Chains A and B, each alone.
Chain A
Amino acid sequence: MYGNIAKKLVKSLALVAFMASTCFAFSEGSDYVTLKKPIPNAKNTLIKVFSYDCPFCYKYDKQVTPKVVPRLPADLQFRPFHLKTKGKYGPQGSELFAVLLVRDQKNGLKDKDLYSEKSLLKKAKMAYYNAYHDKKERWDAGPDAYLQTGLNAVGMTRAEFDKEKNDPKVKALLKEWDASYEVAKIQGVPAFVVNGKYLIMTKSITSVDSMLQLINELKSK
């Protein structure tokens, strides 16, 4: 009789193991959603939508994204998008970040170097995170005070910035970044989008490895 029970137990355990292995694959709705309005020209990219005014973006930029980006597949380009609609100085932040990203590119930084110490974008971003979230700075003096924080962090003058923000490359980047809003309003920021089509559900990310696994799967979908 006990042998019978043991057999049943083994059978049901085997069944559970089988179900678990087939259910392991990521599923739409809980791990990711397909965007109704895909981001144009985003084949082979991982887009990260972020805002300086978002504590989880800060958390991710400290603990997650710097570990994920260098390990991305070679044929997947990493592209940061700043969300201009969040935060009082969202538009100013976007302009400065776009200027600095173009400068990083001119300095020969590849997309996967954007978390290296050489990146101006990273320097300014961290300066804003630190001021806003750690020091509770709100720049009530106005947009100029806001800009100064980022300019100081990268050692850029206001005149240089004012000139470079009219660069057609910067303008084009800002225009592309406008797609951020439609993505951000689905589940907030940070938001990660693979191939401009698949938005990762941030709450289902359990580790750096699981995030990379999901990105890899969505990439070849």
Chain B
Amino acid sequence: MKPTEMFNTFKAAPIQTIAGWQDKRFLWILMAAVSLFMVILAHSVFQIWLYMRPCEQCVYIRFAFFCMAFGGIIAAIYPKNIGLKLVGYALAFWGTIQGIGYSLKLNKIHEAAHSDNPFGVQGCNPEPTFPFHLPLDKWFPEWFKPTGDCGYDNPIIPDGVVLSNLQKTITDFYQDGWYLWPPSHFMNMAQACLITFGICLLVLAVAAACWLLTLWRKHKTHEVSPHNYSTQAR
């Protein structure tokens, strides 16, 4: 289909078009890919390469992204199957909602940690408690064991490590912690995660609403049709 054609079908029937999209693999794979990208970026780039240690809330945020990734993968197996789709939606919604909660909490801690008012929040706990008491920090310590402190994500370079020029430049760039634009401390990590989860939730909600609406409409036409048949038969 050409882009103009796609746009025209969308304009003619936006709800059906969106409902049709979540029967295809594309959006599910996109969601899984975005979630996995965020976790891998956090782990491989920031934690391993740039020595920025994850905190308690950070590992929970990773868990939330993994939930969304699994949801996306499961639904993408065969999105037209209602069971798989429901599992996908459940995991994805749960992940985004949990993720929003963790991000809000981390943001509060971050603000308190960087102000003169330490009240109203609790610092980090080095012993994380994951949903369902999953011992993820024992199973995958590299990914889920908090080694940093909430609100502080500055790179901490171990003695004796020789940084490459690029590593040196980037770790210097993030020396005050992770910000979307570190020189002006614009948008901390918690806020960036919050926005990501927020966008995912919005997309999910729209897709789910369109799907349910189309299902309901179909259901209504089905309810009417037997009656029509009977009048015709008479």
Write the residues of chain A forming the contact surface with B, with a CB cutoff of 8 angstroms.
53-57, 59-60, 63-64, 85-86, 133, 136, 138, 140-141, 184-185, 187-190, 201-203, 205-207
- In the complex the two chains form, is A60's CB within 8 Å of B118's CB? yes
Please give me the 3 A-B residue pairs with the lowest Cβ-Cβ distance, nearest first: A56-B123, A140-B159, A188-B125
Bound CA–CA A133/B149 (angstroms): 10
Q: Which chain B residue lies CB-closest to A186?
A: B125
Nearest-CB distance from B109 to chain A (Å)?
8
B154 cross-chain contacts in A, Cβ below 8 A: 136
Query: Cβ of B159 and Cβ of A138 under 8 Å apart?
Result: yes
Residue of B nearest to A140 (CB): B159
Interface residues of B (CB under 8 A from A): 56, 112-113, 116, 118-127, 149, 151-152, 154, 156, 158-160
A201 with B120: CB separation less than 8 A: no
Q: A59-B113, A136-B156, A138-B159 are in contact. Are A54 and B149 (CB under 8 A)?
A: yes
Given contacts A138-B158, A205-B119, whether A188 and B126 have CB atoms under 8 Å apart is yes
Point out the residues of chain B lying under 8 angstroms from A190, CB to CB: 123
Contacts of B119 in A (CB 8 A): 64, 205-207
Question: A136 to chain B: closest CB distance in Å?
Answer: 6
Can you list 11 A-B pairs with a CB-CB distance of less than 8 A? Answer: A54-B123, A55-B149, A56-B113, A59-B112, A63-B116, A85-B126, A140-B159, A185-B127, A188-B123, A188-B125, A203-B120
A138 to B152, CA, bound (A): 15
Question: Is the CB–CB distance between B121 and A203 below 8 Å?
Answer: yes
Q: How far is the CB of B65 from chain A (nearest CB, A)?
A: 23
Closest-by-CB residue of B relative to A211 is: B119
User: Chain A residues with Cβ under 8 A from B123's Cβ?
Assistant: 54-57, 188-190, 202
Chain A residue contacts of B116, Cβ below 8 A: 63
